Each structure stands twice: as structure tokens, then as C-alpha cells.
Amino acid sequence: MKYLPLIWKSLWRRKVRTIFTLAAIFVAFVLFGILMAIRTAFSFGIDVAGIDRLVLIHKVSLIMPLPVSYQARIASVQGVESVTHNSWFGGIYQNPQNFFAQIALEPEPYFAIYPEFKVPPDQMKAFLADRQGAVVGRDLATRFNWKIGDRIPIQATIWQPKSGTNGTWEFNLVGIYDGDRGVDKTNFFFRYDYLDENRTVLQGSVGWYIVKVADPARSSELAAKFDDMFANSDAETKTTTEKGFVDGFAKQIGNIGLIMMLIVAVVLFMLLLVVANIMSHAVRERTSELAVLKTLGFSNIAVLSLVLIEALCIAVLGGTLGLLVSWGAVQIMAPVVSAFMPAFFIPTSALGVGAALMVVLGLASGAVPAVGAMQLKITDALRRN
């Protein structure tokens, strides 16, 4: 601690150079924080996907329906704890730009399999009592200013209703679900029986099955068993873990996570070269001063530590300010982009990675000049100057 004033004086020996170095690190970590938020948004749901849940879809494509009769056969397999199904609705609310997921489901088994979706008991009771009932996520309700009791019209694009004005389905908002951070709160859930009874085609079909297994270690075995069970049928299946299913959805528009990490890696590598060059130049400027310090009794290790700590201070100060600003920017931007990025936030793990990168950047950029300063001979340094 007694050397901190000396380190601080060295840092501000060239004020303009130090400010520009801090600014470069600051911008890099602002970019890092925002890219991590974007990465989280595009990989939304993957990290919270249940390891004990399998998703069974049509072998050809997710858009191909499966018979509802498969449910009983899947449930009869030993090792299956529970099974339910979902069906994509794909309607329009007011205009096509108001996109959100609308899914027909079986209320009780679905919310039992997905305990992360938290619905108040009285609202769940109302959902079970109302065939036209719908439960929506908190973020979706906030987006459209919906409240319990609202009547919500959805224009059909796939499933035309037997009755209704101009292909419009009517729903009663009976519940709003919540969840922890990382849980998608932008879904519109309604009852499958209402969909199946009132659509004009493909009654008795579903979109995909969700299977909760008793032992996650048997997931691969059971997935293969389900696919063998329906092999050579009119609707063959492909079963994967829920994590793989969600990950597949995310990768339909490219491996966003990999792209984000490559951008961060390139930016930080270039920054490392810049800071290392600046630190080397700063040490060369102070050759005579370092020689005097050694003359006064500073050991080689002490000189090495002074230079490393100086580099660390620059990296940590600039990086911390960058992460703080990126966190604030993401907080401000989140409500604006929530319509298409419901999980726009910087996860705690990313902040930890950012802190580690600051330390690595500081040590790596200061390593070469610090070793050079440690190996500096007093006579050579004084002769050079």
C-alpha cells in the first residue's frame, strides 16, 4: 500500500496518454458488456432449459403435426414421469409487427413440468374453468398494457376458427405468470381443447411433445426408444433434449454466441497489443528512474510488481468504468428492445468474466515491460540516459 502514491504518480506522468489508454479500455468493455447482453438475448432459454425434459417433434420438420394418440404411448414407457404437448398458433394481434409466441397447451401438466412459470393459484383455477382463458407472461402484459379480465382478439394465420368474425379467435385474460430472471415472460398460453374443438382442420393433432423423465441420465436412452417406437409410422419422430431443442431454434439465425465471442476476442486482442506497446514505451521513458529505485534498494521483484500493478490499475479502472456504463446502458435499452429481445441483460457470469479479462489484460500487457524493468542493470540504465 505504501507504494500506491508512487504508482499513481507514474500513471499520470503523461496525462494525455493515460487518458487515451483508459478511453480505449473503457470503450472495449462497454462493447463487451453490450455484446454479452445481445448474446444472452439470442441464446434465451438455453441456460434454463431442463435437463430432465425431452422434446419430441416430427422427424421431417417442427411444422409437421403429430397425432395426439402418441401421448398415451409415450406415457406408458417406463422412466417417463409425465408428458404433455404444445401446438404453435401463430396468430396476429392488431398488426404483424406485434409478434409474440402463442402456444396451445394442457394447463395442469404443462405448468407442473415447467415450475419456473409461476401462476397464482386463483388465476390457475380461473384458467382451468374458462375454455377461452389465456395466461400471459408479465413482460407481454406490460408491453400491451393488458390486465386480468381483458378480452384479447387474435387474428388466425394458420388455424381458422369454425366460428368468429373474419377468422378472429377471442381469448379471456385470466392469468399473468412470472418467473425468475432468465425465464421467458413473453408467451401467450391458451388451452389446447379450445383450439382443437374450434379449428377447421387437423383435429386430434399436436405440434410437439414435452416429456419429463424420472432420471436425466436415461435421457438419451429414452429418446432413442421413443423414436424407435414410432419408426416406419406415418409420423416418425425425432427426440432431443430440451436444451438441444431451444439451442436449435437459436441457431436458425446463426451461432450468435460464437459470433459475439469472436468479436470480443478480436477487440481484446487488439487492445492487448495497444496497451502492451504503451506500457513498454512508458517503462523506456523511466529507465533512469527505475535505475535510481534499484540504487535506493528496490529489489527486482519490487520493480517488477510496480510495473505490473501500474498496468493492472489502468486495465481495472478502464474496464470497471466500461462495465458500469454498459450495465446502465443495457438497463435503459431493455424496455425498448423487450419486444424482440425479452432477455436483454448482462448475466452475473458475464460480469465475472469481464473482471477476469481486466486482470488478464493488465498482467499480459504489463508482463513484457515489467520483466524488462526487473532485468534492467543499474549501470546500463544510467549509461543509457
Could you report the per-residue pLDDT of 319-372, keeping only the tens digit for each?
899 999 999 988 888 766 655 555 677 888 888 888 988 888 888 877 767 666
More confident residue, 99 or 369: 99
> What pLDDT is recorded for position 271?
77
> What pLDDT is recorded for position 48?
44
Pairing of strands 208-213, 53-58: antiparallel
pLDDT band for position 176 (cuts 50, 70, 90): very high
> What pLDDT is recorded for position 5?
67
More confident residue, 27 or 248: 27
pLDDT band for position 45 (cuts 50, 70, 90): very low
> What pLDDT is recorded for position 385?
52
More confident residue, 304 or 38: 38
242 SS3 class? helix
Residue 8 has pLDDT above 90, yes or no: no
Query: Which range, of 30-44, 168-182, 228-242, averages the lowest pLDDT?
Result: 30-44
From the list 44, 42, 347, 342, the residue with the least C-alpha distance to 186 is 342
> What pLDDT is recorded for position 85?
97
What is the distance between the alpha carbons of residues 109 and 82, in angstroms, rounded to a whole number? 8
Other C-beta atoms closer than 10 Å to the C-beta of 147 total 9
DSSP state of 190: E
Q: Are 366 and 311 in contact (CB under 8 A)?
A: yes
Mean pLDDT of 32-56: 72
Place of cell 414421469: 81
> What pLDDT is recorded for position 179?
86
Residue 30 has pLDDT above 60, yes or no: yes
What is the distance between the alpha carbons of residues 300 and 302, in angstroms, rounded to a whole number? 5
From the list 274, 265, 267, 361, the residue with the least C-alpha distance to 20 is 274
> What pLDDT is recorded for position 12?
67
- What mean pLDDT value characterizes the chain? 82
Q: Are 38 and 258 in contact (CB under 8 A)?
A: no
Residue 253 has pLDDT above 60, yes or no: no
What is the distance between the alpha carbons of residues 286 and 289, in angstroms, rounded to a whole number? 5
What is the distance between the alpha carbons of residues 191 and 128, in angstroms, rounded to a whole number? 9
> What pLDDT is recorded for position 206?
96
333 SS3 class? helix
Other C-beta atoms closer than 10 Å to the C-beta of 281 total 12
Query: Any idea of the CA torsion for 156, 161, 167, 168, to the nearest 10 degrees?
Result: -70
Highest mean pLDDT among 11-20, 87-96, 335-344: 87-96
Q: What is the pLDDT of residues 179-220, one digit of tens each?
A: 877 678 889 999 999 999 999 999 999 999 999 999 888 888
> What pLDDT is recorded for position 297?
62
**Identity of the amino acid at 139:** D
Please report how the helices 4-11 and 300-337 are oriented relative to each other, as an axis angle in degrees rounded to 10.
Answer: 70
Cell of 223: 429418446
pLDDT band for position 315 (cuts 50, 70, 90): confident
Q: What's the first-to-final CA gap in the chain, in angstroms?
A: 30
Mean pLDDT of 15-22: 81
Task: Find the helix or strand (DSSP H, E) in which 153 lies.
Answer: strand 151-155
Cell of 110: 404443462
Place of cell 483508459: 22
Q: Where are the beta strands (DSSP E) in 31-114?
A: 53-58, 66-67, 80-88, 102-105
Annotate 267-325 with DSSP letters as a single string.
HHHHHHHHHHHHHHHHHHHTHHHHHHHHHTT--HHHHHHHHHHHHHHHHHHHHHHHHHH
Mean pLDDT of 139-153: 94
Cell of 330: 443495457
> What pLDDT is recorded for position 21?
83
What count of residues does the chain have? Answer: 385
Mean pLDDT of 243-272: 65
Cα 148 to chain centroid distance, Å, stands at: 30
What is the pTM assigned to this prediction?
0.64
